[in-house]
Structure 1
Amino acid sequence: MGPDPARMRAVNPVYIPRNHLLDEALTAAEGGDLAPVHRLLEAVTDPFTPRPGFERYAEPGPADGAPFVTYCGT
């Protein structure tokens, strides 16, 4: 018995706010351009429904990307 694609689609989002996309949106926002932030928010607001025009938000992170390190302030 293998994976059930229908069940997997129900619990795994199509669009994931990956680190490189968040970094890109934050960098643009720091420069005064909020369009990438709005676009990313639009994608992840309905993450389970595939929609045309949002393909890049469904792709895995870059293969050559360095590990992303975050720090928790707790």
Structure 2
Amino acid sequence: MEFFYFLLIGAISGWLAGQLWKGSGFGLIGNIVAGIIGGIFGGWLASKLGIGGGGLLWQIVIAAGGAWILLFIISLFKK
């Protein structure tokens, strides 16, 4: 069940990051994958910066931030 919860947070945060990134990102599936990877990256970065949180909304914000950073980095190489 925890894995499903992880995927759900990744999907929501990937969609959110895609909406913030020029309104489209990399399509629905690409944004969900970016959200999952971004969630891992965002969680790692938040723990290194000491800004850990607890609730579901905080986890979505951290994962969306990580996904947004990931989409930004990918777009640099995509050009």
TM-score bin, normalised by smaller chain: under 0.3
Structure with greater helix share of residues: 2
Structure with bigger gyration radius: 1
